[in-house]
Amino acid sequence: MLSFGAGLTPEFPSPAGNSHIDEVFTEEAAVRPPVGHALHVTPLAQEGELVAQGAAVACLRHAPDVCFTAPLAGRVARITLLPGRKLSEIVLFREPGDAVERHDTGRASTPAGLRRLMQGAGLWPWLRRRPFGGMPAHGETPAAILVMATDTRPFAPDPRHTLQGREEDFARGLRALAQLTEGPVILCQQGGAPLVDPGAGGDRLRIVTRGARHPQGSTGICVHQLFPAGLEVPVWDIHAEDTAALGALLATGVLPMTRLVQIAGSALREARTLRTHPGADLRQLTQRIAAPGPHVLMSGSPLDGHTAQWLAPRHRQVTVLPREIAGRKPHWLVAALTQSASPKPAIPTAGLNQAFGAVLPAVPFIRALSAGDDETAMKLGVLSLLEEDVALADYVLSAPGQLTSTLRAMLERIRSEFAA
């Protein structure tokens, strides 16, 4: 049973912004793989080639129907592949013109046709699966799909704003997602009027109201509570804005390449809400609002973001923080006496329990993670979680990256044993 008072409200300093939403389309953008396993790809464009917005610039080597598409119309400036032809980034420069790739939606009325359309139009990487993370396999069928119309991370934009004027596209997208699973499509939203008529999304649509405190809007906590993922029970999630984009794709044949992004952080002169495109250049997004002095650009929230130049495929937040100036290193003996190679112990507190939304037993779960007890962790719900879902617990423990790295190591170990 959900307790709407569960969770925490972490506070991070940031200047105030205004309610106006600007449109900023950067002169450079990058196509990057979603967080997860490294992806072996085949480039479909060459450096120096002009491409339309939405045109395929790469595809998976072993599943060529799954494409990565250009977020803007421009020229391919650089293709960077890691050893094994793993995708690192494809950088594009904007060029004059508004060429847009159109897709054939004639066969999207069937599950197979819809799947082929989503993969060819570049929407497939916007899906995320659990357990283990990353985008779903080419032919995978989920047991359930969660549509996230809530986000309780600090400074997250309100998903309701992303759907204003797009209600028909959103309902169409929900109905389409129901074709991809025989299970429920679960719409998670915050309080207020339903974002869609329950009957408009199909008979398997469930609307669930979440609280305003973090991590009640964290996807993994929602998955664990509403439809736990398992080794043989994959669960997908997708953002509400991307669901509306799917609906627009079905109606027009064009996949919208815009998203609502919130820019915040203590190294800004003012916060900002804007519409931009996936892979946007964070330097251009922040160049007029960053305060003087060295700073760090992060794609994502202050809890779980990472230093980056480009807006990550699923992110809708940019955080700008002052760059810490390294101080004098302590004497080696002092460092040896004050630092420990083992993780700091997790002291049971009410805050730690609330960091998991009061739906996971915090101390037993952390103990299982730290001890590498895969079996116990699986019983407690680790297969529903990803790094972003334990970032608040790291914050409470004042141990940035400790639980997130331990969780990833465990998930990779479980994955390799399951695949063996």
Each residue's pLDDT tens digit, 265-316: 999 999 999 999 999 999 999 999 999 999 999 999 999 999 999 999 999 9
Overall pTM surpassing 0.95 (yes/no): no
| 316-336 mean pLDDT | 75
Each residue's pLDDT tens digit, 380-396: 999 999 999 999 999 99
Q: Which two tokens stand for residue 355?
A: 């960091």
Amino acid 1: pLDDT: 47
Each residue's pLDDT tens digit, 64-97: 999 999 999 999 999 999 999 999 999 999 998 8
- Contact (Cβ atoms closer than 8 angstroms) between residue 286 and residue 22: no
Amino acid 83: pLDDT: 95
In sequence order, the 6+-apart residues with CB closer than 8 A to the CB of 127 are 118, 135, 136, 236, 237, 238
- Contact (Cβ atoms closer than 8 angstroms) between residue 276 and residue 258: yes
Helix (H, G, I), strand (E, B) or coil at 388: helix
Share of the chain above pLDDT 90, in %: 83
Angle ∠(405,29,274) on CA atoms, nearest 5: 85
SS (H, E, C) 159-225: HHHHCCCCHHHHHHHHHHHHHHCCCCEEEEEECCCCCCCHHHHCCCEEEEEECCCECCCCHHHHHHH
Which stretch of 53-62, 189-198, 331-340, 372-381 has the lowest confidence by average pLDDT?
331-340
- Phi and psi of 349, rounded to 5°? -140, 160
Distance between terminal CA atoms of the chain?
37
Domains in the chain: boundaries: 352-419
Cβ of 112: how many Cβ atoms within 10 Å? 11
Confidence class of residue 100 from pLDDT cuts 50, 70 and 90? very high
Amino acid 36: pLDDT: 77
| 128-149 mean pLDDT | 97
Confidence class of residue 166 from pLDDT cuts 50, 70 and 90? very high
Q: Calculate the average pLDDT of the chain.
A: 92
Confidence class of residue 350 from pLDDT cuts 50, 70 and 90? confident
Confidence class of residue 20 from pLDDT cuts 50, 70 and 90? confident
Helix (H, G, I), strand (E, B) or coil at 343: coil
Residue 103 region, left (φ>0) first, then alpha (ψ -120 to 50), else beta?
beta
Residue 165 region, left (φ>0) first, then alpha (ψ -120 to 50), else beta?
left
Confidence class of residue 326 from pLDDT cuts 50, 70 and 90? low
Preceding amide of 215 cis, omega within 30: yes
Report d(CA 349, CA 5) in Å as an integer.
17
